[in-house]
């Protein structure tokens, strides 16, 4: 059985993440979406809510597990008996950082590969950060994120403004 791990912050999950998830599912029998606590990055959504939103967005998919994790990605991959790490590459600007992480992970665990997947070009500019900025200014974000995420972002920034 082929198992893959897609790690990230998912603050919050977008159609870009979902595009990579769907592509990954074609390559494996089971996919773990590993949501990093990432306290250093000061995420807008707490870990429990990021997991909840990712679960809602993938509820129709059976061979997927959404989990919070803390620590090294390679340790998580090993613990799950997985074969590789999936990362998305949007534009060349992602490349430097992704190359560095992939090389570090290879040093830590030479048997674990990193696979890079390219999203549909429609999502190649989409970042969670941009979505949050749009939401702050009340822009319509429905086409970029699942409905639950759009509603949650509207609620969150309404609360902050009042």
Q: How far apart are CA 114 and CA 98, in angstroms?
A: 9
Q: How far apart are CA 82 and CA 69, in angstroms?
A: 15
What x/- string results for residues 79 through 108 when contact with ligand ADP is judged by CB under 6 A?
--------xx-x---x--------------
Per-residue tokens: 93 = 């600007």
> 41-70: which residues touch ligand ADP (CB under 6 A)?
none
CB of 94 to ligand ADP, least distance (A): 5
Give the nearer residue to ligand ADP in terms of CB position, either 9 or 105: 9
Q: Under a CB-based contact definition with an 8 Å cutoff, are residues 89 and 120 in contact?
A: no
Q: In this structure, what DSSP letter does residue 83 have?
A: -
Give the nearer residue to ligand ADP in terms of CB position, either 40 or 107: 40
DSSP helix/strand/coil, 36: strand
What residues line the site for ligand ADP (CB under 6 A)?
Answer: 8-10, 14, 16-17, 19-20, 87-88, 90, 94, 119, 123, 126-128
């Amino acid at each position: 059985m082929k198992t893959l791990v897609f790690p990230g912050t998912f603050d919050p999950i977008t159609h870009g993440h979902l595009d990579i998830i769907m592509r990954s599912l074609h390559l494996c029998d089971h996919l773990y979406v590993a949501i990093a606590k990432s306290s250093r990055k000061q995420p807008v959504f707490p870990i429990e809510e990021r997991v909840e939103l990712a679960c809602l967005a993938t509820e129709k998919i059976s061979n997927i597990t959404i989990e919070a994790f803390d620590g090294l990605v390679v340790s998580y991959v090993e613990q799950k008996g997985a074969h590789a790490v999936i990362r998305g590459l949007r534009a060349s600007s992602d490349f430097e950082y992704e190359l560095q992480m992939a090389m570090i992970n290879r040093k830590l665990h030479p048997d674990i590969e990193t696979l890079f997947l390219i999203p549909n070009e429609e999502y190649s500019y989409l970042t969670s950060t941009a979505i949050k900025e749009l939401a702050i200014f009340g822009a319509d974000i429905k086409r970029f994120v699942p409905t639950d995420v759009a509603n949650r972002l509207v609620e969150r920034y309404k609360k902050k403004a009042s």
